[in-house]
Structure 1
């Protein structure tokens, strides 16, 4: 349901985003950018189900919330169906919606069959948006607790608080400044979602009374969950919330992301150190002509060709560099890594590597390419790339001489340096200002060095041009795992963890009975920590089960949809060469 890239490439970022007609004035506490953060083209039409059934406390703001969401839909090309009838939760009915909004639901609102239908909807790629008391819902349903990210514990009185905006690239928060002052009923949660979700905003507990989460208090977050997308915001208790332009834009961004209209990196993120937090360019130095303007926590390229490079430190060893970027239109820039200190920007070109930002150039010189050396996976890049005027997030992960490039959380390039005069393991990083008229902006530049425990990786597992797939997206123990045409559903989204597990739909890739005979079935099974569920990636592309000493194999090397995968003696054939996330 993403807008085709070709439909938006030439469009500029100045097009105004229409909110509801009555939402044109800015509150004094909002960033001025609320009015100008803009989509460049209309989303394709889609539908949203707003569900507001309550079996406990009922918020008076529900009516205002439904009205605001209808207004947002009318202005942003989605249709809202609002209901409190849980019978709407059938497989056939849910399939028509890009996202389902739980608007301050409370208590147990779905029966077992309705819960199953909703689980299948999410696992099939559906979107969930939880608003405020959606965290006060379905306490005895483990799937829902994982989807929502955290459940309600308590709350103090309604009062003003400072919201710290941690991610200014996600469509739900890109319009905000570094802090957001607003009044609401601020929930405390039973658990901290930071380890399982990507936190977009958190509360400064020193700015109000009654916070009990020990100073780390997430209040809005997003996550990929069992094949679907889940967004939650703790705001929305008060009637007045739904008349606030900044909060309405926050809701719109959450809905757009959940429905797949925009992309973002919603993997959990911890342990990064800021290199540019929006307040100053201390530690950075300009090489060559042109430069960068700093406004609203954002660096925007001007003139050139030059480069702003981080001179304060040379990075050695393994690291993960993350940064947010946005083009205004058909613009050119890049991120350099692995170059020696120099005030000559061409030194970075000749001695380092550029990760390109320019979606209209040739394959080896387009967004996601290692410039002049290796093209990105164009299909994966196009699926992840937000259009001009919207923010994107790069992760550049260096492991030895390997450079993996992630765009909005999806891996789009995997490059290994073999040039003896260059090294990814040692050098500086920099941002290119390509030339007059190339308008590219950067925010939130951060790095994590020599992380002892790698973060889980999620995405497709591929071999022979097809994807590792869970038969019919089933979650029953023993469900067949097979080869199938790649289709971007939850049945093909695998998480590869540091503990050796490979998971989909909340369960683990498993060797039946812990066997070791050639042809032993490989299946989906409840995660149990045994050797039957441990896998290790080999340098030749094989995925080995250490307990048996054998490899994940495609039966007969077949490529027909439904071909089973099995355990087999490692043999180096294409049937055992897998590409992992």
Structure 2
């Protein structure tokens, strides 16, 4: 939530297509990565990742190649202090910069699993923009007053009046269990399933850094850290082409 300027397969989502538009059904996927997806995490090390905080991508993308290389090198010193790999899982201690993909993505489908602890707070930045919210949804977590009672998976930084800010249902699993996300981003529209349940339906993501502006066409996928250990595994992405993206964006709720 903070925003200041491969292991054994689990129950995931069987993806089929009707008129070119993805349709979701709960099932087991037997092959990893699933067909059409590539792995963002190789299960061994942090190759392909660097560190960014909550920073406007328009600003750091405008850096000279030399300055950007310097920024990335410095970030890796922080990343190595707070991120590690254990049992084919990405592990963060609750501190440090957010793990960010070297590669930038436009329209995409993201599959991943996470497991966290009591009072932890995390999220997923899409194209460098916050965020798909992850947090302790129990009363003991202390954040019911700001929306944690509604559960994880919402676009928490959206304005209160916008669809998608709060998840449609509370779908979090108990601490100690793995949660699974399926996130589809096409244009500025985002659809999210958490543990097989629809929590955000075709909702626009606001540009946190430029409220009246548009989202960047491409940007990194970031795994946020804030306040408690979080583990990630089975992180897969599928890039969505223009025609499929158009059909998704034209879909009515």
For the criterion TM > 0.5, the same-fold answer is: yes
Provide closer, same or farther for how the CA distance between residues 385 and 451 of structure 1 changes in structure 2, counting only shifts above 3 A.
farther
Q: CA deviation at 1:165?
A: 5.8
Aligned counterpart in structure 2 of residue 356 of structure 1, from 109, 116, 133:
133
Aligned counterpart in structure 1 of residue 225 of structure 2, from 411, 428, 433:
433
Corresponding residue for 1:445?
235
Are residue 272 (structure 1) and residue 56 (structure 2) matched? no
Alpha-carbon contact 2:91-2:231 (below 8 Å) kept: yes
- CA distance in 2 between counterparts of 1:366 and 1:322 reads 19
Are residue 367 (structure 1) and residue 152 (structure 2) matched? yes
- CA distance in 2 between counterparts of 1:424 and 1:390 reads 34
Alpha-carbon contact 2:98-2:225 (below 8 Å) kept: yes
Alpha-carbon contact 1:337-1:429 (below 8 Å) kept: yes
Corresponding residue for 2:112?
323
1:266-415 map, 5 Å = 269-287=34-52, 289=78, 291-311=82-102, 313-316=103-106, 318-339=107-128, 352-360=129-137, 361=143, 362-363=146-147, 367-373=152-158, 374-378=164-168, 380=169, 382=170, 384-414=171-201, 415=203
Are residue 199 (structure 1) and residue 21 (structure 2) matched? no
Alpha-carbon contact 2:115-2:232 (below 8 Å) kept: yes
Alpha-carbon contact 2:7-2:234 (below 8 Å) kept: no
Give the root-mean-square deviation of aligned CA atoms: 3.3
Q: CA deviation at 1:281?
A: 1.3
Alpha-carbon contact 2:118-2:136 (below 8 Å) kept: no
* Offset from partner CA, 1:333-361 (integer Å, 9 cap, x none): 1111122xxxxxxxxxxxx1211110333
Provide closer, same or farther for how the CA distance between residues 314 and 449 of structure 1 changes in structure 2, counting only shifts above 3 A.
same
Corresponding residue for 1:531?
none
Q: CA deviation at 1:197?
A: 5.2
Provide closer, same or farther for how the CA distance between residues 323 and 424 of structure 1 changes in structure 2, counting only shifts above 3 A.
farther
Provide closer, same or farther for how the CA distance between residues 424 and 537 of structure 1 changes in structure 2, counting only shifts above 3 A.
closer
Q: Secondary structure at the match of 1:442?
A: strand
TM-score under structure 2 length normalisation? 0.63
Alpha-carbon contact 1:291-1:433 (below 8 Å) kept: no
Alpha-carbon contact 2:115-2:231 (below 8 Å) kept: yes
Provide closer, same or farther for how the CA distance between residues 298 and 420 of structure 1 changes in structure 2, counting only shifts above 3 A.
same
- CA distance in 2 between counterparts of 1:279 and 1:411 reads 32
Alpha-carbon contact 2:110-2:183 (below 8 Å) kept: yes
Q: CA deviation at 1:322?
A: 1.2
- CA distance in 1 between counterparts of 2:7 and 2:115 reads 18
Q: CA deviation at 1:286?
A: 2.5
Provide closer, same or farther for how the CA distance between residues 422 and 453 of structure 1 changes in structure 2, counting only shifts above 3 A.
closer
- CA distance in 2 between counterparts of 1:417 and 1:314 reads 17
* Offset from partner CA, 1:453-491 (integer Å, 9 cap, x none): 86xxxxxxxxxxxxxxxxxxxxxxxxxxxxxxxxxxxxx
Q: Secondary structure at the match of 1:368?
A: coil
Q: Which runs of 5+ in 2 are unaligned?
A: 1-5, 13-25, 54-77, 138-142, 159-163
Q: Which runs of 5+ in 1 are unaligned?
A: 1-163, 172-195, 203-268, 340-351, 455-497, 499-535, 542-578
Provide closer, same or farther for how the CA distance between residues 287 and 425 of structure 1 changes in structure 2, counting only shifts above 3 A.
closer
Q: CA deviation at 1:305?
A: 4.4
Higher Rg: 1
TM-score under structure 1 length normalisation? 0.29
- CA distance in 1 between counterparts of 2:240 and 2:231 reads 28
